[in-house]
């Protein structure tokens, strides 16, 4: 009966709008939930057709879609390990319960933001129990990326806040000007000296004492100096002696012309460096390139150590953790040193809205989302990782309240249809009376 189809259509309308109201209520309830993705209700008409010129109502059906590809605005925070993704891509996380159980590799979940802090066991985790995953770094800070199409290489980010570290000095670059007047005939031939601090393999402070002795000729100018290097960690032993000759031409005056090794490693003209052996091992000392003024020079009458740079650090205590835009988890020490501990990739899938939604704003890959791939942050289609930031809810309360009014009106209208059909059926029943 046509009138019966009208009743069924009204009932389907009530059901569809009730489903829409449930989605709206969920969106409003999570309007302050960081990283929440709003749910949208789509309506589809159902057409049964007509028979004998009589129309039969088919009604309406509804489906709910979580719009995971919609991103909320980013807001700044004061916690260095509050993380958010600037554009496409998601952070890999795992349940802390699974990690602590140690029953194989934990299930990788995905999220777009999280407030991570160090727990008692050193895991970088959220209050809701999500642990950040990443590829661990080698002791020298290099990261061997794991497979990109599986989570097998990812490990929970864990570290010891009480850890001490000290990096030995392996390279020193010096920019020093030697007085040209000291290599002229009749000069006093004053020896210039320089002390350079470095750190040994245990993070202790040691020194290189470097002396520069000019060659004073009988006439004219020699433009020649003898550099001698002694190491305090080796009991003051001479570890290198070099004869440096400088150019006095119009085009390259004052630059290095030649470096000859008396003792110690030979001068490498391709790098501008010599290698000497301190007590803890080899150390590269950069003197500058031949014909350039990027290291040692001989100009004017002033001895001037213009710049001395070196790697290595004294022993320091970890004071904090930061995650940079490329996903490197760095430990910062009170000595000023910084060390890479992990590298966090960003996970991307072809269809983000096809991910399976779980609690705590996390998601799982599914057949509808497509296969996932682990990208370096900032590469491919992915954005960068923002620290000191959280992603707000994607819910716009004004829009949801407007949709609520429309849903309420539609629900009331469908209820009115059912009421009208009931009255018409009553009239049909009354025909017999």
Q: Are residues 297 and 339 in the same domain?
A: no
Indicate the length of the chain as a whole number: 433
Q: Are residues 270 and 195 in the same domain?
A: yes
Q: Are residues 149 and 273 in the same domain?
A: no
* 433 residues of the chain, pLDDT tens digit each: 577 788 888 888 899 999 999 999 999 999 999 999 999 999 998 887 766 677 788 889 888 999 999 999 999 999 999 999 998 999 999 999 999 888 778 899 999 999 999 998 889 999 999 999 999 998 777 888 778 888 888 999 998 876 667 788 999 999 999 999 999 999 999 999 999 999 988 888 899 999 999 999 999 999 999 999 999 999 999 999 999 999 999 999 999 999 999 999 999 999 999 999 999 899 999 999 999 989 999 998 899 998 999 988 877 778 888 999 999 999 888 877 788 999 999 999 999 999 999 999 999 999 999 999 999 999 989 999 999 999 999 999 999 999 999 999 999 998 998 888 888 888 888 887 6
3-state DSSP call for residue 57?
coil
Closest among 215, 158, 91 to 342, alpha carbons compared: 158
Q: How far is CA 161 from CA 79, 120, 138, 165, 310, in A?
A: 16, 10, 18, 11, 26
Q: Are residues 24 and 154 in the same domain?
A: no
Largest CA distance in the chain: 143
Q: How many domains does the chain have?
A: 3
3-state DSSP call for residue 116?
coil
* Contact criterion met (CB below 8 Å) for 264 and 276: yes
> Of 311, 340, 362, which residue sits at a domain end?
311
> Of 258, 276, 311, which residue sits at a domain end?
311
pTM: predicted TM-score of the whole model, two decimal places? 0.71
Q: Are residues 59 and 96 in the same domain?
A: no
Parent domain of 56:
2-70+394-430
3-state DSSP call for residue 113?
strand
pLDDT reported for residue 424: 85
Q: Taking the CB of residue 352, how many other CB atoms lie within 10 A of it?
A: 21
Question: Per the structure block, which two tokens stand in for 159?
Answer: 């570290």
pLDDT reported for residue 164: 66
Q: Which residues of 106-132 are buried (b: 16+ CB within 10 A; e: fewer)?
A: bebbbbbbbbbebbeeebbbbeebbbb
Q: Are residues 302 and 409 in the same domain?
A: no
Q: Are residues 307 and 374 in the same domain?
A: no
> Of 292, 311, 330, which residue sits at a domain end?
311
* Contact criterion met (CB below 8 Å) for 179 and 301: yes
Q: Are residues 206 and 228 in the same domain?
A: yes
Q: Are residues 192 and 272 in the same domain?
A: yes
pLDDT reported for residue 61: 87
Backbone dihedral angles phi then psi of residue 356, each to the nearest 5 degrees: -85, 120
Cβ contacts of residue 281 below 8 Å, gap of 6+? Answer: 168, 170, 201
Q: Are residues 296 and 182 in the same domain?
A: yes
* Contact criterion met (CB below 8 Å) for 230 and 282: no
Q: Are residues 329 and 260 in the same domain?
A: no
Taking only the tens place, the pLDDT of each residue in 28-58 is 999 999 999 999 999 998 887 766 677 788 8
Q: How far apart are the first and last CA of the chain?
A: 22
Helices (H), 283-371: none
């Amino acid at each position: 009966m046509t009138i019966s189809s009208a009743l069924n259509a009204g009932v389907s309308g009530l059901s569809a709008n009730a489903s829409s109201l449930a989605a709206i209520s969920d969106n409003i309830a999570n309007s302050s939930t960081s990283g929440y993705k709003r749910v949208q209700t789509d309506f589809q008409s159902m057409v049964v057709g007509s028979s004998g010129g009589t129309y039969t109502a088919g009604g309406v059906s509804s489906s709910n879609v979580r719009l995971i590809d919609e991103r909320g605005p980013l807001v700044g925070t004061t916690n260095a390990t509050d993380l958010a993704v600037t554009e496409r891509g998601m952070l890999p996380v795992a349940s802390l319960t699974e990690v602590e159980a140690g029953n194989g590799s934990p299930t990788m979940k995905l999220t777009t933001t999280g407030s991570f802090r160090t727990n008692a066991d050193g895991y970088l985790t959220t209050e809701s129990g999500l642990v950040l995953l990443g590829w661990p770094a080698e002791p020298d800070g290099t990261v061997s990326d794991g497979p990109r199409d599986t989570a097998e290489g990812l490990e929970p980010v864990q570290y010891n806040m009480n850890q001490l570290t000290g990096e030995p000095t392996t390279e020193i670059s010096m920019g020093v000007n030697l007085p040209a007047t000291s290599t002229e005939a009749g000069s006093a031939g004053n020896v210039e000296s320089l002390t350079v601090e470095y750190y040994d393999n245990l993070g202790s402070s040691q020194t290189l004492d470097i002396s520069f002795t000019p060659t004073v000729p009988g006439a004219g100018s020699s433009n020649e100096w003898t550099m001698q290097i002694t190491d305090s960690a080796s009991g003051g032993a001479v570890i290198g002696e070099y004869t440096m000759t400088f150019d006095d031409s119009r085009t390259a005056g004052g630059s290095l012309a030649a470096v000859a090794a008396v003792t110690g490693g030979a001068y490498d003209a391709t790098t501008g460096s010599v290698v000497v052996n301190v007590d803890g091992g080899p150390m590269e000392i950069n003197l500058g390139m031949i014909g350039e003024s990027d290291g040692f020079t001989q100009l004017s009458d002033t001895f001037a150590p213009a710049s001395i740079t070196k790697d290595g650090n004294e022993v320091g205590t970890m004071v904090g953790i930061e995650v940079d835009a490329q996903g490197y988890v760095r430990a910062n020490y009170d000595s000023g040193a910084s060390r890479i501990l992990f590298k966090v990739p960003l996970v991307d899938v072809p269809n983000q809205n096809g991910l399976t939604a779980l609690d705590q704003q996390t998601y799982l890959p599914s057949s509808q989302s497509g296969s996932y791939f682990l990208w370096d942050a900032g590469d491919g289609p992915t954005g960068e990782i923002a620290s000191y930031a959280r992603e707000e809810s994607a819910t716009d309360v004004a829009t949801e309240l407007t949709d609520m009014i429309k849903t309420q009106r539609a629900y009331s209208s469908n209820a009115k249809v059912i009421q009208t059909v009931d009255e018409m059926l009553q009239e049909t029943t009354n025909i017999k009376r």
